[in-house]
């Protein structure tokens, strides 16, 4: 140990950088020199992404970490599990049922107690957190979820003694962002699940975050359920304010088009398109039909300049593909204001034959002058010319 401690600080830091997670903990407990040398890898490993539950004990731990003179600067992401305890303890058969589930036992609407989230204490504590992050000039990622696996304090909150819980997504999102806004903290990105909220609550929050004083928000919305039923094709929407882009991943346009006009997802996407979205990225999306695709593009009239389609499978048969993609490209040609259409990274090289391009093509772009005319010409070729078999 003595010989090891005579090494230069740079060497000790290098050793700490290559240590596994368990060894890092032991190094920090051994002596002051190794503790200081291991501070950076320890902070990056354990403190960069913090995941806490909705209890005063857990949130106080987050405050303590952020306020730490060394480790506070490593906190870049905060995840809050939006669950609160119900006051009754579990007895008898309910206890047996609870113990059979590793992630707890949810019984909604029984003896609801939201004292902590509805108190000023939660906002006060989270404002402390965001004030410190702002002073450190760190942008922060905020995620509201129902994942209990890694949340700090979950065991103390639910398992000892066994307790029942319920969800409170809207309240947690609202109070957390109120604290961040009051602290004037730079919320760099926000991640949430669509089915946890109604549009009215999301609208007010997004308007605050997308104000002219904030120009760099990245919003990730997971859409995996419709009310209590899972979607056939769960998908993700990513809105990047700085790039003016909206990315849809694994989206089935048919399900989106069939959603009710007053549904949260339709109203949210329409709202995001109005935030000066100039680029639409479709990743592994099923475009269903030209008619459905036209509805999606109609939300971007006046601002949309680029459409990028990537990582998709055109259709099962060449005949279906020609008719389908001729219609899709014709819809694009009729969208006024488009300056660029990009197709790239098809799921198999043989799919490029649909567009009469070599199999080793990686990227095809229509841009420059007369984009509409170029797209109409491409649609005609795709519709009438034979292509190689895709089966």
Whether residue 371 has pLDDT greater than 70: yes
Question: What number of helices (H) and strands (E) belong to the chain?
Answer: 17, 13
pLDDT confidence of residue 164:
72
- DSSP assignment of 242-291 equals TTTEEEEES-BHHHHHHS-TT-HHHHHHHHHHTTT--EEEEES-B---HH
Distances in Å between the alpha carbon of 24 and those of 29, 43, 52, 169?
9, 10, 22, 35
CB-based contact 71:65 (threshold 8 Å): yes
Could you report the per-residue pLDDT of 80-103, keeping only the tens digit for each?
988 877 765 544 455 444 434 434
Q: Phi and psi (nearest 5°) for 337?
A: 100, -10
Q: What is the DSSP letter of 172?
A: H
| Residue 340: strand, helix, or coil | strand
Looking up tokens 């209890």 gives 55
In this prediction, residue 100 carries a pLDDT of: 43
Query: Residue ranges per domain, the chain?
Result: 1-46, 47-185
Question: For 192-196, 268-272, 289-293, which range has the lowest pLDDT when averaged over its residues?
Answer: 192-196
pLDDT of residue 229: 58
Range 298-307 average pLDDT: 89
Between CA 255 and CA 95 the distance in angstroms is 40
Q: What is the pTM of this model?
A: 0.81
Beta carbons within 8 Å of 369's beta carbon, 6+ residues apart: none
Which pLDDT does position 15 carry in this prediction? Answer: 44
Residue 160 burial (C-beta neighbours within 10 Å; 0-12, 13-18, 19+): exposed
Supply the mean pLDDT for the chain: 79
């Amino acid at each position: 140990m003595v010989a090891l401690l005579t090494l230069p600080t740079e060497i000790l830091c290098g050793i700490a950088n290559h240590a596994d997670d368990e060894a890092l903990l032991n190094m920090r407990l051994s002596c002051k020199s190794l503790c200081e040398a291991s501070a950076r890898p320890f902070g990056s490993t354990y403190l960069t992404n913090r995941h806490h539950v909705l209890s005063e004990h857990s949130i106080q731990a987050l405050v303590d970490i952020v306020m730490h003179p060394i480790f506070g600067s490593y906190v870049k992401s905060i995840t809050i599990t939006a669950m609160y305890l119900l006051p009754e303890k579990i007895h008898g058969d309910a206890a047996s049922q609870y113990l059979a589930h590793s992630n707890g036992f949810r019984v909604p609407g029984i003896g609801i107690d939201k004292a902590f989230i509805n108190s000023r204490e939660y906002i006060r504590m989270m404002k402390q957190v965001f004030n410190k992050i702002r002073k450190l000039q760190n942008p922060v990622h905020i995620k509201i979820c129902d994942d209990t696996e890694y949340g700090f304090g979950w065991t103390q909150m639910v398992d000892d003694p066994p307790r029942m819980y319920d969800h409170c997504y809207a309240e947690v999102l609202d109070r957390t962002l109120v604290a961040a806004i009051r602290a004037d903290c730079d919320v760099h990105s926000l991640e949430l699940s669509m089915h946890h909220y109604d549009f009215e609550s999301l609208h007010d929050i997004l308007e605050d975050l997308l104000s002219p004083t904030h120009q760099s928000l990245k919003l990730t919305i997971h859409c995996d359920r419709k009310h209590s039923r899972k979607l056939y094709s769960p998908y993700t929407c990513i809105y990047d304010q700085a790039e003016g882009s909206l990315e849809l991943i694994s989206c089935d346009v048919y399900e989106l088009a069939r959603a009710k006009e007053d549904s949260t997802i339709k109203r949210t996407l329409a709202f995001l398109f109005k935030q000066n979205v100039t680029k639409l990225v479709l990743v592994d999306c099923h475009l269903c039909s030209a008619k459905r695709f036209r509805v999606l593009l109609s939300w971007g009239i006046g601002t949309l300049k680029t459409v990028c389609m990537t990582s998709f499978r055109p259709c099962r048969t060449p005949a279906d593909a020609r008719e389908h993609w001729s219609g899709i490209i014709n819809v694009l040609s009729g969208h006024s204001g488009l300056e660029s259409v990009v197709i790239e990274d098809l799921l198999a090289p043989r799919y490029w034959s649909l567009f009469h391009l070599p199999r080793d093509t990686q990227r095809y772009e229509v841009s420059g002058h007369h984009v509409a005319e170029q797209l109409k010409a491409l649609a005609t070729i795709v519709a009438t010319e034979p292509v190689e078999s895709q089966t």
